Homo-oligomer: A and B are copies of this chain.
Amino acid sequence: MSESDREARRLAWVYLSRVVEGPCAALSALIESVGVVEAARAVRECALPEVLRGPTELRRGIDRAEKDVAHIERLGGRVVTPDDAEWPAWRMLGLGQLDPAQDADAAVPLVLWVRGRRSLLEATERSIAVVGARCSTGYGNHATGEIAGELAARGWTVVSGAAFGIDGMAHRAALGVGGVTIAVLACGPDRPYPVQHDHLLAEIAEAGLVVTEYPPGTSVRKHYFLARNRLIAALADGVVVVEAGIRSGARNTVKWCRRLGRPAMAVPGPITSAASVGCHRMIREGEAFIVTRADDILDEAGPLRLSLPGAVPANPEDNLSGDEALVFAALPGAGARLPRALAADTGLPMAVLRATLSGLEIAGLVGCDGSGWYRTVSPSTSTAAIVADHDRHR
């Protein structure tokens, strides 16, 4: 792709991001079918199917993509599009495969507005979302500090929503141990929300990342929090809820997490505390696993571990069992296959398939590009070759 083509695509993504403000499954479908540049042209000219006229009507006349890019760069940030190397493509796969008829928000973000120096791809390689009540208790804050601090100290990125209470505590605990944390906002990257967390967000942007799909200048809206929650779930290997009232937004994040086939977890608390009622209910109703410490969380959400006591095995795939073995076997020796074909072959539900592919990818056994998933090792490859292969594909 030429540099000018690349730039045209980039501006098209950014333009569309401002037009729809948030996820839009119909627009994502159009982009997939005609390409992003053509989709942007169609939106501008209102040469659109009926379903896309409403969502684009209000702002399709606003074309300030170049200014938006300049604006985020002045803030020390950048816009990350699906064309960029740091786009966390495999994390987004699941979102694109949800049924948009069930939920209009079930779409891949068009772009991500990012503040912070780290690569988004690397920062989300091993990450856990820790979320919960705004009105947290001393107990909840303490529990969050213990859990998020331990996860961060062990090299896991802590993803949260920068809200008061549990969210803020989770970010602070990660920062406190020198770990990586990602704040996902429901407003533009230039809008500290809540405003009292202005300083905290600046710290997160310094040591980790502040991420949002809303363009600069966008204020929070109630609906945006729900769409934001799906992004928290998408960017993590699992979601842990520490304290949630009976009508907590955390339950919405858990719903997304489960739809994406990733483990949802909840921390128990005193039965006498209203702030733990939502957690207990989610555990009781089978919506979340009970977890009480970082070890429990990594047991549920951690990567497939190639446990290598002593010797390094010549064929790491020999250590695979169950779904991992099944999926690995269904991948071709050369070339790639699409998830739907793999699901059909293995008989696994898509959610399970995705989770399994993620595990295999983290273990360095498979990779993913535009043509689908492929093996990064062959049965006869030595471990040294795997590592090299693995690095090459990052």
A residues at B contact (CB < 8 Å): 139, 142-143, 146, 267-272, 276-277, 280, 283-284, 289-293, 296
The residue from B269, B271, B291 contacting A293, defined by CB atoms under 8 A apart: B271
B284 with A289: CB separation less than 8 A: yes
The residue from B142, B272, B283 contacting A290, defined by CB atoms under 8 A apart: B283
Q: A293–B270 Cα gap in the complex (Å)? A: 12
A66 to chain B, nearest CB (A): 50
Chain B residues lying within 8 Å of A270, measured Cβ to Cβ, are 139, 143, 269-270
A290 with B284: CB separation less than 8 A: yes
The 10 closest A-B pairs by CB, nearest first: A268-B268, A271-B292, A280-B292, A283-B290, A284-B290, A143-B271, A139-B270, A270-B270, A267-B271, A269-B270
Chain B residues lying within 8 Å of A296, measured Cβ to Cβ, are 284
List 23 contacting pairs A-B, 8 Å CB cutoff, sorted by A: A139-B270, A139-B272, A142-B272, A143-B270, A146-B271, A146-B272, A267-B271, A268-B269, A268-B276, A268-B280, A268-B283, A268-B290, A269-B269, A269-B270, A269-B271, A270-B270, A271-B292, A280-B290, A280-B292, A283-B290, A284-B289, A284-B292, A290-B290
- CB-nearest residue of chain B to A269: B270
Chain B residues lying within 8 Å of A268, measured Cβ to Cβ, are 268-269, 271, 276, 280, 283, 290
Q: In this complex, which of A142, A271, A293 has the most chain B Cβ atoms within 10 angstroms of its Cβ?
A: A271
A298 to chain B, nearest CB (A): 14
A292 to chain B, nearest CB (A): 4
Chain B residues lying within 8 Å of A291, measured Cβ to Cβ, are 284
Q: A139-B272, A269-B269 are in contact. List 18 more A-B contacts (CB 8 A).
A: A139-B270, A142-B272, A143-B270, A143-B272, A146-B271, A146-B272, A267-B271, A268-B268, A268-B269, A268-B276, A268-B290, A271-B293, A280-B290, A283-B290, A284-B289, A284-B290, A284-B291, A284-B296
